[in-house]
Amino acid sequence: MLYEDKRNFFRMMVNAEVQLTLIDSEAGRQIDGVCRDLSATGMAIEIDEPLEMNVTLKVKVASSNNSVPSLDALCKVIRSTSLESGEYLLGVEIIEMN
């Protein structure tokens, strides 16, 4: 049996700390989270509060290596799922990379 991945890009497991800055509703508010995985078009981010669908935010993943730049992206929330741990898993679409 062949496994057919419907995604256009493979996801890379990251588990890196991220800082989210809301652009829309509560502009400037910051939330800390963990980027669980990353692809060329999106990310899965775990945070401790829910966010509305279609909220625009800046996502910053600091680099732990001086030779690798930090990742800064403008993203849109496309999914928010409640986890058993009481945290929330966001699916975000990357709109623009900086």
Helix, strand, coil percentages for the chain (3-state, nearest 5): 0, 55, 45
Classify residue 53: in a domain, yes or no: yes
pTM of the model: 0.82
The boundaries of the domain holding residue 43 are 12-97
Classify residue 67: in a domain, yes or no: yes
Partners of 72 in beta bridges: 60
Classify residue 1: in a domain, yes or no: no
Classify residue 86: in a domain, yes or no: yes
Distance CA 47, CA 89 (A): 7
Q: Domain with 19 in it: what CATH number?
A: 2.40.10.220
Classify residue 2: in a domain, yes or no: no
Q: How many domains does the chain have?
A: 1
Mapped onto helix, strand or coil, the DSSP state of residue 38 is: strand
Classify residue 37: in a domain, yes or no: yes
CB of 59 closer than 8 Å to CB of 72: yes
Q: Tokens in use for 11?
A: 């996801």
pLDDT digits (tens, 9 = 90+) for 21-75: 999 777 789 999 999 988 889 999 999 999 999 999 999 988 777 787 888 999 9
